[in-house]
Amino acid sequence: MIRASELVYEYPGKRALDAVSFTLAAASITALVGPNGAGKTTLLRCLAGLDEPYSGTVEIAGIDVLKHPRDAHRHIGYLPDDFGLYAELSVRRCLLYAGRARGLADATLDARVDEVAAQLEIGDKLADKAGSLSRGQRQRLAIAQSIIHRPSVLLLDEPASGLDPESRAALSGLMRKLRGEGMTLVVSSHILAELEEYCTGMLVLQQARIVEHRLIEQADAAAVRQVRLRLAQHSEALADVLGGLPLSELQIDGSVANFDYAGDDAALAGLLATLVNAGLPVCELQIEHASLQDQYLLAVDVNRGGRA
């Protein structure tokens, strides 16, 4: 759905994007992460066709964004970090304006306004002025404006900035819902714990370059799993039992053992049965997942080591 190839973008005295290339599948949610100044906003603006790179190409839904920007914009929704609303217009009029600006026909626009307002849970605010809304409600209105034309791609720059915990939780649910409807999303944010709740991939940008492109779901389904085992009480037999099993990287600390295990869920169930049948008082057996923040920090550290 999104393909960027060898993107280069420069500001006076600074290269913001340096040969950036990647491909994103349809109906995916990609976390765009990196330190301040890495080029995340510039990349989003190039994808949206708002900034023209010095060189390289961008395709959205098979359309060359640089050669055919108007055609590409029909498929793109974009929410910048510093989005603006017309404070004196009602929510309905804001959505009507956004729809007409994106070429929606008047015959279907009223119905679409009601539909997208309900989807973003601001249907009861249609008569209210945009300036009277809370931060979370303004964010929902801005997203509604971005998707009123049913884009296939939605680009979001720091969408959770300034939101309270309840609004952030609702935003996470919305992201999953939009993906379920077939939309492809790219979300730039520094709040990695929240991105982990709904993202399917991670794109790490550092010093204007892509240093990691990871499919999160694919990583979680890896054949080799990190397992944590805990016993209800210490058992001298723990080391002997585990020592006779096909494990690796085994570490035992009292009643807790950590190890790598190659196998699917059925194999893991068999391992648990073996431990219990051996008389071990197992009270906990769980897969240890590396958090999105751990994966990000590892990618950054590896890149620093490579450049050093």
Phi, psi of 220 (to 5 degrees): -70, -25
Report, as an integer, the average pLDDT of 105-109: 89
Q: Both 247 and 278 in a single domain?
A: yes
Per-residue confidence band for 297, with pLDDT thresholds at 50, 70 and 90: low
Averaging pLDDT over each range in 196-205, 271-280, 294-303, which range is the top one? 271-280
Q: Both 137 and 214 in a single domain?
A: yes
Q: Both 241 and 108 in a single domain?
A: no
Does 77 map to a domain?
Answer: yes
Model pLDDT, residue 290 = 60
Place of tokens 């009643």: 255
Does 115 map to a domain?
Answer: yes
Q: Are 227 and 259 in contact (CB under 8 A)?
A: yes
Q: Give me the number of domains the chain comprises.
A: 2
What would the pLDDT profile of 156-180 be if each residue is shown by its tens digit? 999 887 777 887 888 888 889 999 9
Does 239 map to a domain?
Answer: yes
CA distance readout (Å), 96 to 70, 99, 103, 118: 20, 5, 11, 15
Query: What is the rounded average pLDDT for all residues in the chain?
Result: 89
Model pLDDT, residue 62 = 94
Torsion-angle region of residue 235: left (phi > 0), alpha (psi -120 to 50) or beta? beta
Model pLDDT, residue 216 = 74
Q: Both 44 and 191 in a single domain?
A: yes
Cβ neighbours of 62 (radius 10 Å): 9
Model pLDDT, residue 160 = 83
Q: What is the DSSP letter of 291?
A: -
Q: Report the distance separating Cα 292 and Cα 196, nearest Å.
A: 6
Report, as an integer, the average pLDDT of 117-125: 93
Q: Both 8 and 138 in a single domain?
A: yes
Does 108 map to a domain?
Answer: yes
Does residue 268 register a pLDDT over 50? Answer: yes
Say which residues have a Cβ less than 8 Å from residue 182's Cβ, sequence separation at least 6: 26, 27, 152
Does 297 map to a domain?
Answer: no
What would the pLDDT profile of 180-235 be if each residue is shown by its tens digit? 999 999 999 877 877 877 889 999 999 999 998 988 754 444 457 789 999 999 99
Report, as an integer, the average pLDDT of 226-252: 91
Report, as an integer, the average pLDDT of 111-126: 94
Q: Report the distance separating Cα 29 and Cα 153, nearest Å.
A: 10
Q: Both 72 and 143 in a single domain?
A: yes
Per-residue confidence band for 292, with pLDDT thresholds at 50, 70 and 90: low
Q: Both 249 and 127 in a single domain?
A: no
Q: Report the distance separating Cα 164 and Cα 276, nearest Å.
A: 45
Report, as an integer, the average pLDDT of 57-78: 95
What would the pLDDT profile of 2-33 be if each residue is shown by its tens digit? 999 999 999 999 999 999 999 999 999 999 99
Report, as an integer, the average pLDDT of 94-111: 93
Q: Both 92 and 53 in a single domain?
A: yes
Q: Are 187 and 31 in contact (CB under 8 A)?
A: yes
Q: Both 282 and 161 in a single domain?
A: no
| Helix 106-119, helix 91-101: angle, nearest 10 | 130
Does residue 75 register a pLDDT over 60? Answer: yes
Q: What is the CATH number of the domain that holds 65?
A: 3.40.50.300
Model pLDDT, residue 295 = 66
Q: Both 133 and 89 in a single domain?
A: yes
Does residue 124 register a pLDDT over 90? Answer: yes
Q: Are 195 and 159 in contact (CB under 8 A)?
A: no
Q: Both 54 and 185 in a single domain?
A: yes
Q: Report the distance separating Cα 111 and Cα 89, nearest Å.
A: 19
Model pLDDT, residue 221 = 44
Beta bridge partners, 258, equal 228, 251
Report, as an integer, the average pLDDT of 77-92: 94
Q: Are 23 and 1 in contact (CB under 8 A)?
A: no
Phi, psi of 169 (to 5 degrees): -65, -40
Q: Both 213 and 266 in a single domain?
A: no
Structural domain range at position 233: 222-287
Reduced to 3 states, what is the DSSP secondary structure of residue 77?
strand
Report, as an integer, the average pLDDT of 34-49: 94
